[in-house]
């Protein structure tokens, strides 16, 4: 099938979404000519532990963060799905909604090893390419080796996004919110206001 458009896929718990996520998406959109970047907050992800904020709240924070950014959209397909949420199921649904798009799944380099535990990873690798963004000092040589291994093991096409994101973590934001500190520079003003209005991340 000939595709004429490209869709970047940003999946994550977004607990909360922060400026690093947005910077990553902007970079990938600009450097890989993505027509749209779709943010997909997870519902009940298999790779995250207990204690994640309610999925409806995480969805609303994600919508607030990107609502005024051209080319960015938010999907609730994983939030609305019952049971565990897997990338395979999500990509199947997205193929129906975006039949003329090529898919680029945006992941952090620290997710590379996790790919081996993804449900039906061979099928996932046939449906999407992966744009890999460096994090925490993961260097291109390491990415290159991991990409070769993943290509050989299950046919994954991994592309180095040539970018290392700002040093922001959702964990740090939650800790700051717990202490009542400013979140300026960490996330958007709208998300900060939402966090404090709903008293998120309190003990």
Residue-wise pLDDT tens digits, 102-112: 999 999 887 88
Q: How confident is the model at residue 1 (pLDDT cuts 50, 70, 90)?
A: low
Residue in 101, 16, 99, 11 with CA at minimum distance from that of residue 53: 16
Residue 199: inside a domain, yes or no?
A: no
Q: Residue 55 is encoded by which pair of tokens? A: 């999925």
Percentage, residues of the chain above pLDDT 90: 71
Q: What is the pLDDT of residue 139?
A: 58
Supply the range of the domain harboring residue 123.
Answer: 5-169
Report the CATH number that the domain containing residue 74 is assigned in CATH: 3.40.50.620
- Tens digits of per-residue pLDDT, 38-59? 999 998 766 655 678 999 999 9
* pTM score of the predicted model: 0.91
Q: How confident is the model at residue 140 (pLDDT cuts 50, 70, 90)?
A: low
| Mean pLDDT of the 13-35 span | 96
Name the average pLDDT for the chain: 90
Q: What is the pLDDT of residue 136?
A: 57
Does the structure show a pLDDT above 90 at 63? yes
Does the structure show a pLDDT above 90 at 165? no
Burial label for 133, CB within 10 Å (0-12, 13-18, 19+), is buried
Residue 154: inside a domain, yes or no?
A: yes
| Mean pLDDT of the 74-86 span | 92
Overall domain count for the chain: 1
- Give the contacts of 132 (CB within 8 A, at least 6 positions apart): 107, 108, 109, 112, 143, 147, 158, 159, 160, 161
Residue in 90, 85, 43 with CA at minimum distance from that of residue 62: 43
Does the structure show a pLDDT above 90 at 203? no
Residue 193: inside a domain, yes or no?
A: no
Residue 50: inside a domain, yes or no?
A: yes
Residue 176: inside a domain, yes or no?
A: no
Residue 179: inside a domain, yes or no?
A: no
Residue 192: inside a domain, yes or no?
A: no
Residue 196: inside a domain, yes or no?
A: no
| Mean pLDDT of the 142-171 span | 86
Answer whether 141's CB lies under 8 Å from 182's CB: no
Count of C-beta atoms within a 10 Å radius of residue 127:
17
Does the structure show a pLDDT above 70 at 88? yes
């Amino acid at each position: 099938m000939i595709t004429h458009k490209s869709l970047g896929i940003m999946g994550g718990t977004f607990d909360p979404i922060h400026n690093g996520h947005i910077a990553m998406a902007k970079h990938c959109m600009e450097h890989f000519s993505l027509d749209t970047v779709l943010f997909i907050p997870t519902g009940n992800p298999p790779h995250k532990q207990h204690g994640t904020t309610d999925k409806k709240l995480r969805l609303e924070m994600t919508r607030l963060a990107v609502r005024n950014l051209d080319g960015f959209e938010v999907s609730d397909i994983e939030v609305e799905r019952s049971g565990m949420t897997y990338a395979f199921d999500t990509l199947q649904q997205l193929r129906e909604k975006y039949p003329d798009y090529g898919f680029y799944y945006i992941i952090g380099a620290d997710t590379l090893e996790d790919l081996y535990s993804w449900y039906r990873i061979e099928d996932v690798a046939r449906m999407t390419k992966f744009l890999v963004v460096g994090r925490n000092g993961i260097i291109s040589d390491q990415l290159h080796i991991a990409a070769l291994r993943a290509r050989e093991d299950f046919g994954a096409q991994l592309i180095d996004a040539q970018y290392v994101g700002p040093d922001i973590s959702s964990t740090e934001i939650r800790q700051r919110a717990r202490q009542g500190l400013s979140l300026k520079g960490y996330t958007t003003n709208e998300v900060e206001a939402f966090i404090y209005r709903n008293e998120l991340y309190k003990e």
